């Protein structure tokens, strides 16, 4: 079902037409103009406030300096008063948002309220795990709940639009923005996309506890060659339609009210001026009725792409292609009027874009309710209910990668903790940390203290190269068990953070080896925003806990898992390579004519193992599960899958049962297997449950050599199990 239809209703259309009749050309162009701040610190943040934020640790010295340098002397209030700005990016503080709305509503000629947007990707003040971590929950309810809380806190801050969810499928761990999405699989990312739109927007866009969502980055941004951010994406149309577009179609069908174009060119055409994407796919095929916003500065950057001679040319192309709002490049505000006077564009071109913007402003209830209760936020931010969900989502995002039985630990033992990341709160918040701040975040050390654990701590080793072996040997001398916190700083993933080398940085491996050589039991806890090449670390550890960047409650969640209060249930949504050279690497690859094998003349690297370090879907538990009795039954439009799952261990656990399908023979090469369904099941020791799922026949369609979407009859092999290496399978002929 496509929820876009609700935006195209007679009442809203009548309001739009009435406003269009009254608006001057400057006022119309103003609605297409979004102004963003210069670096951290928003707009008119006062020096006093900045000093307070610095002293309280809410911003670093660097952020303080950026903010002082980037402060606006005025808030462009006059331009708002004249109706020359329709939306803002990055205004922080409910008082500032209300002030801007009052100017727009009370002091401009037509009183059109503002859209005020910010990247609230995984939390506003209560910060949830980064999306790549949260996706390891494989839980649509959780995805929806966390974004619903994020929306509630965000709405209370005066912000009414988030630039999220980010739903770029990512197959290359060198690309820093892999941190922001749901990993390498299209189906899981599509489930994530739908749940996030529901959470942010709810059923009614005008609900004061909801905000406008923005599915980004449209499209194939994650296909950047070499994993280098902003690089070209050169992919077949079949891959665009089979891998990168489906999550956006899912978001649009769920009612996403806005879409953001991506920086990259797609096969030579910048997405920002790509009429095929916006007119053919988005508007015509998907019936999208929301608004399209460019990424920051992306319209102006078409000059750098070499496809626009200047910003006027870029503005012309972007408007004609279907961009409605120019984010922070001033290409529209500087050039649209001139283009109209020169007859290069028509008033209809402008009215189409203005209508899309007004439509979402009307549908979000802003005309009736532009202001925010300034006392609401502090009652909501980091309240117990929100912190509890932050802790629950965090521990469910943790993936146990290795355990020789050392975990879970008893709480009454003495342990040593090393690695600077154990005591770094801000690093737990990851990229796009919203308004999350240091003193409201629980580090691993905080968590150990709060849980009454008897431990000694010495950093001994930094991420970026410091290592004091002598201090290490001293601090671990009197203990049998060591927890080592290693990984990345949060600014080593996210935007503009691509790495050519994803080995464990600095001398962290040296530290782990030194602990191993001392014969200690080593529990390595990873803090990272991407898969890392951690083969050496795994070999030197008794247990490896993937703790990503888990947000406000990171330390408590990690303790819940390490001390057995929660049985880890996370499952990887990205493949972990053995080394950087294997990137890009993903499970749903095609077979090739010489499938990977020990045979020399086969598809592989001579200097790398044949299988990844950890496969997609992988994750250990403190118990174990047995799969039996796989039954497939065909119906007209779907295949039902039934399997018995038993908990054969001694503790209760939650398993994610995964169904993968291989199209055995087709007119184009098909992936060796693709995730088509999954379901979580909680089992007590020895308990058996029959888990039933359905695979729609339509989900087995693909694009043939002529780009026709087809279903081809034949044999399909269904694999059911614990991860993408599942061997329990059955073949069924589907006609």
Q: Least distance (Å) from ligand GLC to the CB of residue 100?
A: 17
| Rounded CA separation 196/147 (Å) | 6
Tell me which of 43, 143, 163, 616 binds ligand GLC, using CB under 6 A: 163
Is residue 147 classed as helix, strand or coil in its secondary structure?
Answer: helix
Map the footprint of ligand GLC across residues 623-652, applying CB under 6 A. none
The nearer residue to ligand GLC, 36 or 447, going by C-beta atoms, is 36
Sole residue written with tokens 């610095």 = 54
Among 620, 692, 679, which Cα is nearest to 649's? Answer: 620
CB-based closest residue to ligand GLC: 163
Map the footprint of ligand GLC across residues 74-93, applying CB under 6 A. 89
Q: Least distance (Å) from ligand GLC to the CB of residue 193?
A: 15
The nearer residue to ligand GLC, 297 or 506, going by C-beta atoms, is 297
Q: Least distance (Å) from ligand GLC to the CB of residue 11?
A: 31
| Residue 342: count of CB within 10 angstroms of its CB | 11
The number of C-alpha atoms within 13 Å of 185 and in the hemisphere containing its C-beta is 29
| Rounded CA separation 181/304 (Å) | 27
Please give the structure tokens belonging to residue 288: 């999208």
Instruction: Tell me how many residues contact ligand GLC (CB under 6 A).
Output: 7
| Rounded CA separation 231/138 (Å) | 30
119 binds ligand GLC (CB under 6 A): yes
Among 527, 515, 612, 625, which Cα is nearest to 567's? Answer: 625
Which residue in 295, 324, 446, 663 is the catalytic one?
295
Is residue 190 classed as helix, strand or coil in its secondary structure?
Answer: helix
Give rounded-to-5 percent helix, strand, coil for the chain: 35, 20, 45
The nearer residue to ligand GLC, 119 or 140, going by C-beta atoms, is 119
| Rounded CA separation 730/735 (Å) | 16
Q: Least distance (Å) from ligand GLC to the CB of residue 260?
A: 6
The nearer residue to ligand GLC, 249 or 495, going by C-beta atoms, is 495
The nearer residue to ligand GLC, 216 or 676, going by C-beta atoms, is 216
The nearer residue to ligand GLC, 119 or 144, going by C-beta atoms, is 119
Tell me which of 44, 139, 168, 295 binds ligand GLC, using CB under 6 A: 295
> Do 426 and 179 touch, CB atoms closer than 8 A?
no
Separation in Å, CA 401 to CA 134, 316, 675? 16, 51, 21
The nearer residue to ligand GLC, 89 or 547, going by C-beta atoms, is 89
Binding mask 412-451 toward ligand GLC (x if CB under 6 A, else -) reads: ----------------------------------------
296 binds ligand GLC (CB under 6 A): yes
DSSP 407: P
| Rounded CA separation 93/111 (Å) | 22
Q: Least distance (Å) from ligand GLC to the CB of residue 723?
A: 30
Q: Least distance (Å) from ligand GLC to the CB of residue 158?
A: 17
495 binds ligand GLC (CB under 6 A): yes
Map the footprint of ligand GLC across residues 179-238, applying CB under 6 A. 216
> Do 167 and 183 touch, CB atoms closer than 8 A?
no
Element (H, E) at 241: none
Q: Least distance (Å) from ligand GLC to the CB of residue 339?
A: 25
497 binds ligand GLC (CB under 6 A): no
State yes or no: is 295 an active-site residue.
Answer: yes
265 binds ligand GLC (CB under 6 A): no
Give the contacts of 51 (CB within 8 A, at least 6 positions apart): none
Give the contacts of 114 (CB within 8 A, at least 6 positions apart): 80, 85, 86, 87, 88, 100, 101, 104, 366, 370
Enzyme catalytic residues? 295
> Using CB under 6 A as the criterion, which residues of the chain lie in contact with ligand GLC when the complex forms?
89, 119, 163, 216, 295-296, 495
């Amino acid at each position: 079902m496509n929820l876009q239809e609700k935006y195209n209703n007679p009442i809203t259309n009548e309001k739009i037409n009435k406003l269009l009749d009254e608006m001057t050309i400057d006022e119309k162009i103003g609605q297409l103009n979004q102004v963003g701040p210069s670096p951290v610190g928003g707009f008119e943040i006062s020096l006093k406030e900045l000093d307070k934020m610095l002293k309280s640790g809410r911003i670093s010295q660097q952020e303080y300096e950026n903010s002082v340098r980037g402060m606006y002397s005025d808030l462009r209030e006059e331009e708002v008063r004249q109706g020359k700005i329709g939306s803002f990016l990055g205004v922080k503080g409910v008082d500032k948002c209300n002030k801007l709305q009052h100017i727009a509503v009370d002091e401009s000629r037509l009183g059109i309220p503002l859209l005020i947007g910010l990247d609230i990707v995984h939390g506003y003040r209560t910060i949830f795990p980064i999306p790549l971590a949260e996706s390891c929950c494989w839980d649509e309810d959780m995805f929806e709940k966390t974004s619903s809380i994020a929306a509630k806190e965000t709405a209370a801050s005066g912000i009414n639009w988030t630039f999220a969810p980010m739903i770029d499928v990512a197959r290359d761990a060198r690309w820093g923005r892999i941190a922001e999405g749901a990993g390498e699989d299209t189906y899981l990312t599509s489930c994530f996309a739908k749940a996030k739109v529901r959470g942010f927007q709810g059923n009614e866009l005008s609900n004061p506890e909801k905000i406008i969502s923005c599915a980004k980055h449209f499209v194939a941004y994650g296909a950047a060659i070499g994993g280098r951010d902003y690089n070209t994406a050169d992919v077949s149309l079949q891959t665009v339609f089979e891998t990168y577009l489906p999550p956006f179609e899912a978001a649009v069908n769920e009612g996403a009210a806005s879409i953001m174009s991506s920086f990259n060119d797609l096969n030579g055409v910048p997405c920002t001026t790509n009429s095929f994407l916006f007119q053919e796919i988005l508007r015509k095929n998907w019936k999208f009725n929301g608004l399209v916003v460019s990424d920051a500065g992306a319209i102006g950057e078409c000059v750098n792409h070499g496809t626009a001679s200047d910003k006027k040319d870029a503005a012309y192309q972007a408007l004609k292609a279907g961009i409605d709002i120019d984010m922070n490049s001033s290409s529209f505000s500087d050039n649209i009027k001139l283009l109209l006077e020169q007859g290069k564009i028509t008033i209809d071109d402008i009215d189409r874009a203005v209508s899309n913007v007004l439509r979402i402003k009307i549908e979000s209830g802003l005309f009736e309710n532009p202001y925010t209760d300034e006392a609401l936020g502090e009652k909501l931010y980091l309240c117990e209910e929100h912190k509890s969900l932050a802790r629950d989502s965090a521990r469910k995002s943790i993936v146990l990668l290795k355990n020789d039985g050392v975990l879970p630990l008893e709480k009454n033992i003495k342990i040593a903790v090393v690695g600077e990341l154990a005591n770094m709160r801000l690093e737990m918040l990851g990229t796009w940390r919203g308004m999350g701040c240091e003193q409201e975040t629980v580090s691993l050390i905080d968590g150990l203290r709060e849980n009454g654990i008897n431990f000694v701590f010495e950093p001994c080793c930094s991420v970026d190269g410091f290592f004091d072996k002598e201090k290490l040997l001293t601090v671990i001398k009197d203990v049998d068990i060591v927890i080592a916190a290693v990984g990345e700083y949060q600014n080593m993933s996210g935007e503009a953070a691509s790495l050519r080398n994803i080995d464990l940085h600095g001398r962290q491996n040296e530290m782990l080896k030194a602990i191993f050589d001392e014969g200690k039991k080593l529990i390595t806890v990873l803090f990272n925003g991407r898969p890392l090449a951690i083969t050496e670390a795994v070999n030197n550890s008794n247990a490896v806990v993937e703790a990503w960047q888990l947000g406000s409650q990171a330390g408590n969640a990690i303790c819940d898992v390490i001390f057995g209060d929660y049985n880890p249930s996370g499952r990887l949504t990205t493949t972990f390579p053995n080394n950087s050279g294997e990137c890009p690497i993903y499970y749903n690859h095609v077979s090739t004519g010489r499938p990977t094998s020990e045979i020399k003349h086969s598809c592989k690297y001579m200097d790398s193992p044949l299988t990844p370090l950890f496969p997609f879907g992988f994750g250990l538990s403190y118990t174990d599960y047995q799969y039996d009795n796989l039954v497939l039954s065909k119906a007209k439009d779907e295949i039902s899958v039934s399997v018995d799952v038993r908990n054969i261990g001694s503790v209760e656990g939650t398993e994610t049962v995964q169904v993968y399908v291989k199209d055995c023979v087709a007119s184009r090469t098909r992936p060796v297997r693709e995730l088509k369904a999954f379901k979580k099941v909680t089992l007590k020791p020895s308990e058996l449950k029959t888990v039933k799922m359905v695979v729609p026949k339509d989900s087995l369609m693909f694009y043939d050599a002529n780009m026709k979407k087809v279903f081809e009859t034949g044999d399909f092999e269904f694999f059911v199990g614990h991860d993408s290496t599942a061997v329990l399978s059955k073949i069924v002929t589907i006609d």
